[in-house]
Amino acid sequence: MTPAFGAATIKHPSAHQTLATPVGIERQWFYDQVVLNGADLFFGDVNATLISGSLYKYNAPSDVSWSPPYSQGLWRKLFPTFAFTGGQPYTDISSPTTGNVIGTGAGDNWKYCVARVANECRTGSSVSDIYFNTGATLSILHCTVSDSPQPQRQDVCIGPSPAHADSIPQLLSTATDVTNATRRNRILAHATLFGPRNMTAYPFAKQLPGAEWGLFNGGAWSMQHHGGCPLLQHLGGEEPTLPRAGLL
């Protein structure tokens, strides 16, 4: 539904590599830090349309496999919406108010609006229309793919956020069927700290022996040449049965 492919989200899975016997629970899990960097085919590869001033209309992807969420209001009751240019997020000002809610001038820079019914956001809008007012000079009028953070890239990405995007998942590698894997996998936190396109080029997460604690990278893109800032996370014990609240 909302893919977190490697072209959109960096993945560097890590398993605890120990030769100790007997094999501990830590050998049954792997850990990752999944950072959203954007993508073209399923987050919009068709150029945005300039309305006036700094106001644009965002267009759905050309690939019909990924266009349904854009024709159905981004499925906003199911998934959170992301919106950013480079490493700068937009503020959602969507509301039931009709008329020109989002303007064309600098006063509405870094805002976006999604029309749930006709005439929301802008007079004459249709259901599911997406408008954004950029505070940057766009050099690329659609969302671009990248295997590393590009906070300096002046494109625009708006879409339904993948469930694993900007998260720290813990996944069972010894599952014998899909049901078992689904029930025992979990997202520990949506905690990449600096947001889309602002993490290091090589985010890492590694569980420590016993699978009770893990390390993940808290470094910003600007710190990537300085090693980042490793942070310690409590995973809640060997079996992922505890609630996620308070694990970070």
Tell whether the model's pLDDT for residue 247 goes beyond 50. no
Contact (Cβ atoms closer than 8 angstroms) between residue 143 and residue 44: yes
pLDDT bin (cut points 50, 70, 90) of residue 173 is confident
pLDDT bin (cut points 50, 70, 90) of residue 222 is low
Backbone φ, ψ for residue 158 (5° rounding): -135, 130
Burial class of residue 16 (count of CB atoms within 10 Å of its CB; 0-12, 13-18, 19+): buried
**Whose structure tokens read 């503020």?**
91
Mean pLDDT in residue range 231-237: 69
pLDDT at residue 248, as a whole number = 44
Three-state DSSP class for residue 209? coil
pLDDT at residue 190, as a whole number = 72
pLDDT at residue 117, as a whole number = 95
Pseudo-torsion of CA 178, 183, 189, 190, nearest 10°?
A: 50
* Of 231 and 40, more confident: 40
Query: Residue ranges of the domains in the chain?
Result: 9-34+164-234, 40-162
The percent of residues in the chain predicted with pLDDT above 70, rounded, is 76
How does the average pLDDT of the chain come out, rounded? 80
Tell whether the model's pLDDT for residue 240 goes beyond 50. no
Cα distance between residue 164 and residue 186, in whole Å: 10
Closest CA to 122 of 144, 145, 95, 149: 95
List CB contacts of 7: < 8 A, sequence separation 6 or more.
39, 145, 147
pLDDT at residue 187, as a whole number = 82
pLDDT bin (cut points 50, 70, 90) of residue 134 is very high
Q: What is the bridge-based pairing of β-strands 130-133 and 205-207?
A: unpaired
